[in-house]
Amino acid sequence: MAKKTAMKKNASKKAAKTSGKKSPVRKGAVAKTIKKTTKRTVAPARKSATARPPKGPAWQWSAVETAAAIRAGAISAVETVEAHLERMHAVNPRLNAVVVDLGEDALRAGHAADRRRAKGGELGLLHGVPITIKENVDYEGRPNFNGVPANKDLVAPSDSPVVRNLKKAGAIVIGLTNTPEFSFRGFTDNPLHGLTLNPWDPNITCGGSSGGARSAVAAGIGTIAHGNDIGGSLRWPAHCNGVATIKPTQGRIPAFNASATAERPMLAHLMSAQGPLARHVGDVRLALEVMSQRDPRDPWWVPAPLTGPKPKGPIKVALAKIPEDMAVDPAVSAALRQAADHLERSGYRVSEVEVPDINGVWQTWCDIITNETVVMQEAGMLKVTSEDFHKAWGGMKTKANALDLKAWMQATAARNGHIRAWQLFFEEYPVVLAPTTVKPTPGPRDDTVSAERVQEIFWGEIRFISAINVLGLPGAVVPVAVHDGRPIGVQLIAGRYREDLALDAAAAIEKRAGVLTHRLWETMA
């Protein structure tokens, strides 16, 4: 990790102690409010006599609150960055969530942001807001390690689209977060940077592959964390760390790594998505808008609107019936019932129904991703990865069917039928409420125990997460409860390009369940 940056502690402490009323955030009005504000000519970058920042230290504020406070002159971008760097240096040594400290660059960016505001320049939606980036997308001038030491020469010639969009919106990157080798495991550990811990409990996993991102944002390092998801890598760690996220529809957020030595195969691209993680659903919604801006380097990007027509009458929610072979822990059942109750009390109509062939959908995902990887990537990956990676990957393959060319074409054709069935299902039930996992969060390295344990996790526990990737559907995760000191989240799934419906339902749950990371901070030293 790079050398820690010397920070102006007095200014940071002053900002942390300043208190005031929280800025009210109306549902569905976040981006509109910020956009209107950014069009104004702003005053010089000194604190306004009337502007009052939110309560608590600056690192505890939401991204929406932080952007508004900087814009109003209640705090400078530099002070905000300093507060987050101080938090990072306080808690990251025991978590190992941020593996590249970009503090010096972040402070320079903070000064530039304050100069821009002082000159009256137009400000982006995330002007001066500290964030983190997962170390598996291109960050200009740095190696794209993706958890693999052998990738040291894959130096990014330019920022990936998602990084470029975040920077264009004024976000300030304070660090890069950890990911497993080739981002292939659901547990975040690698020979380059080591194991990332869960801030709630070091005896449970922080998830993967975006485990570093989730651990960081839950602990208060950055307001928004970037991640990506091909089999649950946004939603699974969000559940493990008690934060919110959205896996967008395929094509919503552009993706490309110029450092890559070859193009990604088709189905891997169709099942993968970039996305945000944050402590607040409102921040997830705002980050989604920023990340979704066009980039011509991604031929699959779709210029779809971020909001669609509201369903007529009360929105019907399908509480997904759990397959009989999945043994559900009582705490998970209670969390699902609690989430359903929150939705009912918010005006939704929830019914427990069977969703279309969740078992067949998951098997199609497993067969497609495994066979594509075996043909296109496996030999090269196994040459440069650890024994732990070999164990985990070997376990992932045990549930997949080996496909010849004809079977492969049949599997990809079956994918179309699954998507159609779900789209028709959404005509009656626009939102599906489903578990993230049906079991308590496992240990930090459970996927290295045995092939049988890996199969048990992916098939027996998180089936409702990985299955959604092959459908290309949006899925949000929002925390609902804490059981035995560990967070439990639920998943909200909606139709193609209807992230708004999934996030609306997640926000309704969050309004009643609260933001769980506030409880976490009370227990952290």
Residue range 206-261, pLDDT digits in tens: 999 999 999 999 999 999 999 999 999 999 999 999 999 999 999 999 999 999 99
Q: Would the CA dihedral through 506, 511, 512, 518 be positive or negative?
A: positive
- Phi and psi at 234, nearest 5°, equal -95, -45
29-60 as b/e, with b when 16 or more CB fall inside 10 Å?
A: ebbebbeebbeeebeebebeeebebbebbbbb
User: What residues form DSSP beta bridges with 224?
Assistant: 131, 278
The rounded distance, in Å, linking the Cα atoms of 179 and 212 is 6
Q: What is the pLDDT of residues 269-324, one digit of tens each?
A: 899 999 999 999 999 999 999 999 999 999 999 999 999 999 998 999 999 999 99
233 annotated active-site:
yes
Tokens of 418: 């699954």
The answer to whether residue 49 sits within a structural domain is no
pLDDT of residue 50: 57
Mean pLDDT of 113-122: 96
Amino acid at 73: G
The answer to whether residue 126 sits within a structural domain is yes
Q: What is the pLDDT of residues 2-52, one digit of tens each?
A: 433 333 333 333 333 333 333 333 333 344 434 443 333 233 344 554 578
% the chain with pLDDT above 70? 90
Q: How confident is the model at residue 59 (pLDDT cuts 50, 70, 90)?
A: very high
* Beta pairing, strands 349-353 & 273-278: unpaired
**Catalytic residue from among 233, 272, 292, 386:** 233
The answer to whether residue 32 sits within a structural domain is no
Q: How confident is the model at residue 266 (pLDDT cuts 50, 70, 90)?
A: confident
Mean pLDDT of 57-86: 98
Q: What is the pLDDT of residues 404-451, one digit of tens each?
A: 999 999 999 999 999 999 999 999 999 999 999 999 999 999 999 999
The answer to whether residue 16 sits within a structural domain is no
* Residue 108 CB coordination number (10 Å): 14
pLDDT of residue 52: 84
DSSP-H helix ranges across 377-516: 378-384, 387-397, 405-428, 451-455, 463-471, 499-513
The rounded distance, in Å, linking the Cα atoms of 103 and 87 is 12
pLDDT of residue 470: 97
Q: Are 155 and 259 in contact (CB under 8 A)?
A: yes
The answer to whether residue 11 sits within a structural domain is no
Length of the chain: 525
pLDDT of residue 140: 98
pLDDT of residue 47: 52
The answer to whether residue 4 sits within a structural domain is no
**Catalytic residue from among 23, 76, 134, 215:** 134
Q: How confident is the model at residue 525 (pLDDT cuts 50, 70, 90)?
A: low
pLDDT of residue 8: 35
Mean pLDDT of 395-405: 96
**Catalytic residue from among 160, 209, 210, 259:** 209
The answer to whether residue 501 sits within a structural domain is yes
Helix (H, G, I), strand (E, B) or coil at 220: coil
Q: How confident is the model at residue 156 (pLDDT cuts 50, 70, 90)?
A: very high
Range of the domain at 107: 58-523
Number of folded domains that form the chain: 1
Mean pLDDT of 335-348: 98
User: What residues form DSSP beta bridges with 349?
Assistant: 316
pLDDT of residue 34: 45
The residue whose two tokens read 């209107």 is 36
Helix or strand (DSSP H, E) at 224: strand 224-229
The CATH number of the domain holding residue 468 is 3.90.1300.10
The answer to whether residue 252 sits within a structural domain is yes
pLDDT at 325 over 90: yes
